[in-house]
Chain A
Amino acid sequence: MNITRQILDAFIDDHLNEQETIKVEKALRESPELQAQLTDIIKSRDMGDHSIGAIWRREHLSCPSREELLSYQDEALDLDRLDYIKFHLETVGCRACKANLSDLKNANPLPEDPALRKKHQQFLENSKILLPKKN
């Protein structure tokens, strides 16, 4: 795998699949030059540089909607679309869509563990202080 600028961009955005991520991390550990290149990319990004890939990943432009993911799960889409979504999940390795799909499989939106459920309730209670004041 030749590690290009575009691959490092995708790595920073956490948008590589697991195998690719492992390869990049290994290469970074072994190559000070690659680490320097990564530093330069982060530097240029902070200065306002943005690539097409970065925008595409950040805005999830090709991600199917939740409704489509639900239909994908039920195989209720045409074959071309089913094939594309499979590719997007497995080959592109979109973690956001995988997280969505896994969430859709879970019928209960609240955490099952009582301790986590309590933490969830406490969070809702404590966070309301940050809500804008009603007029």
Chain B
Amino acid sequence: MVSLDERLLVKKIQEGDQQAWNELVLRYEGRLTNYAQGKIKDHSTCQDLVQESFLGFLSKITNFDASRSIQSYLFGILSNKIADFLRSLGKSKIVENPVDSSGNHKGNPFIDPAMGASTWYRGDEKKKLENDALTKCLVLLINDFIKKKDYLKLKTIELLFVNGLSNKEAATILGINNKVVASHRFFATNFIIENLKKLNLSHEVFPEFYEQDTET
């Protein structure tokens, strides 16, 4: 949930308020620099990458959606810039996938040239709807765990979904039975599906859920 204070800060910057911009830089610079230093030891390089990330943010400020978390947005840009920097040093084995000043992927070699502008528009629109819907459901799920103080389920789901571990690996870390992990996974998946359905999205978004309904 983005705070009113953050929304106001973005609004002021969108109106060209330099003091608000200075405040935003001061507020996020430390955490972003620490994040970069987790991967790159040279402080000056870290500062360069952080400043480039701020510039990427500022260059898109007019269209920035104030309901988005500034911190997540800035960490996203910075993360791409760090990966790009490490690739340039040959320290990363990730395939070439350069990003522009805003952290967006550029020169995508995988785009099908036959896809027209309207296809892209529809694709982007659907992607945003799916993304927003999934985010809402995940927030509901996490808040449900926290409200009920069911931290074991939250830990399990985080290991499975966020760290990508198998049921067995998560069970070992948490010191619980595989079956318990499987039941937590089943609970979370059902929770997400049921809440996605409640959003009454067009059947074009997540058509697989409606196909299942037809089959049953």
Contact = CB atoms under 8 A, between A and B. Distances in A.
A119 to B, nearest CB: 6
Interface stretch (B70-78, B199-207, B208-216): B70-78
Interface residues of B, number: 74
A134 to B, nearest CB: 4
B16 A131 contact: yes
Interface in B133-186: 134-135, 138-139, 142, 149, 151, 154-155, 158-166, 169, 173
B15 interface: yes
Secondary structure of the B side of the interface?
helix
Interface string A96-111: 1011101100100111
A71 interface: no
Given A47-B110, A98-B34, A134-B15, A10 B163 contact: yes
B97 interface: yes
B30 A15 contact: no
Contacts of A102: 31, 34
A81 to B, nearest CB: 8
Interface string A110-123: 11010110011001
Contact of B34 (A29, A42, A99): A99
A130 B58 contact: yes
Given A53-B161, A99-B38, A25 B93 contact: yes
Interface string B71-96: 11001100100110000000011110
A40 B86 CA distance: 21
14 contacts: A2-B166, A7-B164, A7-B165, A38-B93, A59-B72, A81-B151, A100-B31, A115-B44, A119-B44, A120-B47, A124-B21, A124-B25, A131-B21, A133-B16
B115 to A, nearest CB: 9
Contacts of A53: 161-162, 164
B127 interface: yes
Interface core residue of A7, A43, A110, A123 (most chain B CB under 10 Å): A123
Contacts of B192: 52
